[in-house]
Amino acid sequence: MGLSDLQITPDGDALKVEANSDWGWIVKFTLKPDDKGGIADSPLEIDQLRGKDGLPFANKSFGDAEDLAIDPATGARFVSFEGQQRIIRYTAPAMFKDEGEVLPLTGLPLFPANEGMEGLTYIREATGDALLIGAESGGFWRCPVATWACTEVDGPAVPGFLYKLTSLAVLDYGDPRRDHDILTLYRYYDPFTGPRNVLRLTRLEGDQLVTVTDLAKIAPPLPYDNYEGVAAVRTATGYRIYLICDGLHDGDRPKILMFDWSL
């Protein structure tokens, strides 16, 4: 079971993690320092995502969950699905243990098979909140919560040949200088050289998503893998970035890569 995205919530000296699988699962665990300078073992809580009928999805085509977003005001979760193109909202108190609401989105194109809504994040704005969607096949869309009528956003080109978008995440909802900064993760893959990633900082300015800087390129000799999701947590000196991977082979264990970005 590969993991496609993650959300991280600070909780005292620990971090609570929710990660979604492209087989229609939600995995919850805790990252907490141990007394040896590492991370303590954590039990896993695993739930199946559910559709509007309250039942788990029958197969990967329906359960192909790619990105996970959170409304920081209400705690509602939004999950984008690539196989059967849709976004489902899950709300408290039941959250993932009950049926989800399929959003009545309009204005989106029909994406190519297996190259759909890989990127999803929640944007807070005084004029009305919105979802920002990015497609693996290219393109970005803003979908206002008030209407769900999506309009295209002018976005940057991919960082290189064979790179495709795989995740979006607002950097910091708690800082008004950073709440429109978007961590934008791209993935490259070919069977001869394996996976590569570029993590880019972009900024949403009106109907434009502009590149600020490239934060990291993950390629040998760095611990490269098939990273598909990104999240960030504020630290005393900047941010700690978390990347989660979806293994390329059956039996591959999911990994989280952590690194610090100092401002």
pLDDT in tens, 21-79: 988 999 999 999 888 888 888 889 999 999 888 889 988 888 899 999 999 999 999 99
CA atoms within a 13 Å half-sphere pointing along the CA-CB vector of 129: 16
Q: What is the tens place of the pLDDT at every residue in 199-219?
A: 999 999 999 999 999 999 999
Query: CA-to-CA distance for 248 and 227, rounded, in angstroms?
Result: 10
Query: How many CB atoms neighbour CB 67 within 10 A?
Result: 31
Give the per-residue pLDDT at 176: 95
Report the percentage of the chain scoring pLDDT > 70. Answer: 99
158: CATH: 2.115.10.20
Number of domains the chain contains: 1
pLDDT digits (tens, 9 = 90+) for 96-142: 988 899 999 999 999 988 889 999 999 999 999 999 999 999 999 99
pLDDT confidence of residue 262:
92
Q: What is the CA radius of gyration of the chain?
A: 17
Calpha distance 123→130 (Å, rounded): 5
Number of Cβ within 10 Å of residue 51's Cβ equals 20
Helix, strand, coil share (%) of the chain residues, nearest 5: 5, 50, 45
Let me know: does 125 contact 72? Beta carbons within 8 Å. Answer: no
Task: Order the strands of the 151-153 sheet from edge to edge.
Answer: 117-123, 130-135, 140-144, 151-153
Instruction: Say if pTM beats, i.e. exceeds, 0.85.
Output: yes
The parent domain of residue 240 ranges over 3-262
- Cβ neighbours of residue 195 closer than 8 Å, sequence gap 6 or more: 187, 188, 189, 224, 225, 226, 227, 248
What mean pLDDT value characterizes the chain?
A: 93
Query: Is the pLDDT reported for residue 249 higher than 80?
Result: no
Mean pLDDT score, 208-232: 95
- Cβ proximity of 117 and 164 under 8 Å: no
DSSP single-letter state for residue 175: -
pLDDT of residue 251: 72
- Structure confidence at residue 1 (pLDDT): 61
